[in-house]
Structure 1
Amino acid sequence: MILLGSLINGLAIIFGSLLGAVLRNISEQMKDTVTKGIGLGVLVLGIQMAFKTSSFIVILISLCLGAMFGELLRIEDRMNRFGIKLEKRFAKPDSNFAEGFVTASLIFLIGSMGIIGAIESGVANNHQTLFTKAVMDGFMSIMLSATLGVGVLFSAVPVFLYQGGIALLASVLMRYIPNELLDLLMGEISSIGGLMILAIGLNIMGLTKIRVSNYLPGIILLIGIITLQFYL
């Protein structure tokens, strides 16, 4: 079953979010401390991933051009509006539903682990990487839900659609991509994803307010540039 890994990942987020909702009565001081701890962990993960690049200039160009496209497309605003619509339907007024949805979606979506795992599911029907990611996302969703609310639960939907879509596409297309190019792409995608995760960590800790969603087109641009370089 090609979509098994993506399905388990989504269910882990839902379960963790429900468990986190039960723990929402913990003190604000504890929530703040735990949130800062998550932020620190995300910062370290982002830094670790960012150093995997072999061409920082390409990463920087892709990130900046991607930000320009993201701002023109207003991706962050659209994600927030979508979160607000869900908030009006499922959450209480004056909650931080949209922030929880957007923050959790970005944390769970960005990075090469989901991409590599989805490719393994699509090409070899091997779900071990996505199962490992499911465990990580499940624990993360407990604390995110406890601090940011029920919006975290709905991030399971884009995670399933994103990883499931890659798995289905990989089952058709990846047989035509050379292994050398695939390895190169995974390293660079991990690096640019690490920079975005670093920004998320800074946001979680309240040090900045970076519009991380608007950098997402940079991943697509990076794939195009690396592929072009490979064949030239």
Structure 2
Amino acid sequence: MFTGSGTVLNIIAIVLGGAIGVALGGRFKENLKDLITQVLGCVTFISAADAISAYWNKDLVDQLPKGATMLVVVFSLLLGALIGNTMRIEDRLENFGTK
């Protein structure tokens, strides 16, 4: 590999993903498009959290098995999404915004 290969790979992935989205996007229902966007956003958030995990409290990280801090982030997001969905928080915020 060469310096900057990650950036090149990222650019290629974005271009290919965009092309696939343009080619196939019209075939998906709106709710499926929203779901895919939310999943990809969550993956992006998790990747960002992993990138900054080196800055987390070293004592905590040392006491937990490798990767456990990432699982905390994943399960926190999952639990928050389930609670928010159950409480219909997004619907209520949208209704509040239209009043």
TM-score between both structures, scaled by the size of structure 1: 0.23
The structure with the largest alpha-carbon Rg is 2
Query: TM-score with structure 2 length normalisation?
Result: 0.47
Higher relative contact order structure (alpha carbons within 8 Å, sequence separation ≥ 6): 1
